[in-house]
Amino acid sequence: MNTSKTPRNTIARTEILKLVNDSVSALSHADVQVAINGLCDRVTIYRVLDRLVEDGSIHRIVNVDGIVRYASCHTCEEGHHHYHDHVHFSCDKCKSVTCLEEVVPSFKLPRKYQVKEVNFTVRGLCPSCR
């Protein structure tokens, strides 16, 4: 039984994916909404972002402020989605959230914990703001 839908290429999907991929920092729903400037409804943005995450085209970050942001998967090969275990840095001053894909923290969970997702966010001042 295959419950997955066959996704379709729409203008909204194409534009939003391009937007996220071309951005240096992770984008929130609000960022995307401003950037696409009325191309589609805000609900559609939410749904497109959800779909893009689901099929592994982008990845989702829950920032220290509790707001979800989205970033491209640079280190992921097409159709082969990596485990997103790298650090995200949130700058207090310029408000940018960037993936530090080269920074992968090492840690050991003690008892029998079964890990499904990791979310590692660091807050402070980025190199250009401090």
Partner DNA sequence: CATTGTATTGCAACCGAGTTGCATTTTCGT
Partner DNA sequence: ACGAAAATGCAACTCGGTTGCAATACAATG
**Beta strand 68-72 pairing with 87-91:** unpaired
> What is the C-alpha separation between 125 and 38, in angstroms, rounded?
33
Q: Which of 2, 6, 66, 79 binds its own copies (CB under 8 A)?
A: 66
Closest approach, Cβ 14 to its own copies, in A, equals 28
The footprint of DNA (CB under 7 A) covers: 5-13, 28-30, 39-44, 46-48, 50-51, 66-68
Closest approach, Cβ 113 to its own copies, in A, equals 6
Residues within window 85-114 making contact with its own copies, judged by CB under 8 A = 87, 89, 92, 100, 102-114
Residue 63: which of 98, 30, 36 has the closest Cα? 98
Q: Which of 68, 76, 82, 96 binds its own copies (CB under 8 A)?
A: 68
Residue 14: which of 37, 47, 56, 48 has the closest Cα? 48
